[in-house]
Amino acid sequence: MKTTLSVIKADIGSIGGHLRPSESLMEAVREYIEANKGKMVIDYRISNTGDDIAILFSHREGVGNSALHELAWDAFVAGTAQAKKEGLYGAGQDLLKDSFSGNIKGLGPAVAEMEFEERENEPFIFFAADKTDPGAYNLPLYLAFTDPMHCSGLILSPKMSDGFKFVIMDVEYTEADRYIELNAPEEIYDIAALLRDNERFVVSKIYSRDSGEQAVAASTTRLHNIAGKYIGKDDPVMLVRVQGSFPAAGEILSPYNIGHYVAGFMRGSHTGPLMPVKTGCGISFFDGPPIVTATAFCVQNGILTEPVDCFDHPYWDHVRTEVARKATELRRQGFSGAAMLPYSELEYGGIVEKMKKLDDKFKI
Ligand code: F6R
Ligand code: MG
Ligand code: MG
């Protein structure tokens, strides 16, 4: 029987601005799921990454299941009531529609789902990032699945020598899913040519070419593109199955020691390095820096083990210091050049209005 993992996350309010949800808000979401999970949900975990709350479900209903999406939506609605009661900032901010309609995608929350036949042992890692957008996973995925500098299994393991198939979404196209399938290693230059543009092309799935099995499912929605105006960055979630014919857990984590620069940070309008942090970490410096959490599990007959917090290890303390240095360095140039995102990515619309006014004052 197949197992489905679904992670659905939303920002429904936090303390002190966009920093971290309250304990009681997390508890309200948990209570709702506990009381309403019925027979559909086999197991679940609730966590926060910055101001976002993620619900990780395991179940047997397949991807895009309306009843499961509705359960998550209703849990976020219940959480929003609690957030309002406490006076949390931005209560219900990611619930963009008044009511649920079939599929939670496009309604505000981010979704990553994968259905598979469980292997004898089924280890996987759940990633969540805050103050950034789905393109933040492009480089780490490219490196973990195509580059032996990070994934030694590509040269050491016969199960990986066939490489991986990437499914890449054009997130600027909003009428439907517009995607391309490319094979690594033969087409890595084409993959790189697309993935360099984090704001337009985003990895949505990766498959092993040896087993045909799906390794990765990532959220790709860019509400900015759908709504055409500021509605915050789409802090992305991702599921990655590891080991065997997939990269090892440590190979998947390896590229996060770069602290590569991503879009997001203050007002969703700046460039900042992605800092690997412990689950439950809040947001601080300059409403950032952009953060990513990684939580590992095994799943058996749909039952999840206790979580292992992958970035809660002395090695990553060293990385965090380096990433903080990168953040400080770029912040030193404030609004100038590379520190702020290009015109098309600036949130809030303030610059657009300013430019219009200034345009009239220009003389020739
Ligand atoms: C929110 C975010 C923050 C806000 C900033 C201003 O995810 O990235 O940097 O954009 O705190 O927030 P508002 O507009 O709510 O006052
Ligand atoms: Mg937020
Ligand atoms: Mg957020």
* Rounded-to-integer distance, Cα 88 and Cα 19, Å: 11
CA 90 to ligand 1: nearest atom: 15
DSSP β-bridge partners for residue 293: 128
pLDDT in tens, 190-201: 999 999 999 999
Question: What pLDDT sits at residue 346?
Answer: 85
Does any ligand 1 atom lie closer than 6 A to the CB of residue 267? yes
Residue 242 makes CB contacts below 8 A (sequence gap 6+) with 123, 124, 125, 215, 248, 249, 251, 252, 296
For residue 345, the model assigns a pLDDT of 85
- Token digits of residue 14: 């936090």
Please name each of the domains of the chain with its CATH number. 1-117 (3.30.70), 126-300+312-357 (no CATH)
Using an 8 Å Cβ cutoff, are 102 and 218 in contact?
no
pLDDT surpasses 70 at 152 = yes
Atom of ligand 1 nearest to the CA of 89: 15
pLDDT confidence band for 105 (50 / 70 / 90): confident
Two tokens, residue 327: 């953040």
Residue with tokens 């092993």: 208
Tell me the pLDDT of the chain averaged across its residues: 95
What is this structure's pTM?
Answer: 0.97
| pLDDT at site 157 | 97
Cβ-based neighbour number of residue 138 at 10 Å: 23
Say whether pLDDT at 222 is over 80. no
pLDDT at residue number 121 = 97
Residue 358: predicted pLDDT: 95
Among 32-46, 318-332, 348-362, the minimum mean pLDDT is found in 348-362
pLDDT of 227 > 90? The answer is no
Ligand 1 within 6 A of 18 CB?
A: yes
State mean pLDDT over 158-183: 94
Residue 363 annotated among the catalytic residues of the structure: no
- What pLDDT score was predicted for residue 265? 96
268 lines ligand 1 (CB under 6 A): yes
For residue 157, how far is its CA from the centre of ligand 3 (angstroms)?
Answer: 38
pLDDT(182) > 80: yes
225: confidence class by pLDDT, cuts 50, 70, 90: low
Over range 133-141, report the average pLDDT: 97
Is the minimum distance from the CB of 102 to ligand 1 under 6 angstroms?
no
List, for residues 284-306, the tens digit of each pLDDT value.
999 999 999 999 999 999 999 99
- For residue 96, name the pLDDT band (cuts at 50, 70, 90): confident
Q: Residue 81's Cα: distance from chain center in Å?
A: 25
Q: Residue 111's beta-bridge partner residues? A: 8
CB of 334 within 6 A of ligand 1: the answer is no
Ligand 1 center to 90 CA (angstroms): 9
pLDDT, average across residues 180-184: 98
* Annotation marks residue 360 as catalytic: no
pLDDT for the residue 15: 98
Q: Choose, from 179, 197, 230, 278, the residue flagged as catalytic.
A: 230
Q: Whose Cα sits closest to atom 2 in ligand 1?
A: 267
Which residue is it, tokens 């903080």?
Answer: 324
- What is the arithmetic mean of pLDDT over 114-120? 98
Active site residue 179: no
- In a mutational test of the pocket of ligand 1, which residue from 262, 266, 270 has the highest number of ligand atoms less than 8 Å from its CB? 266
Give the pLDDT of residue 344: 82
Instruction: Decide whether any atom of ligand 1 lies within 6 Å of the 260 Cβ.
Output: no
DSSP state of 14: B
Ligand 1 atom nearest 287 alpha carbon: 9
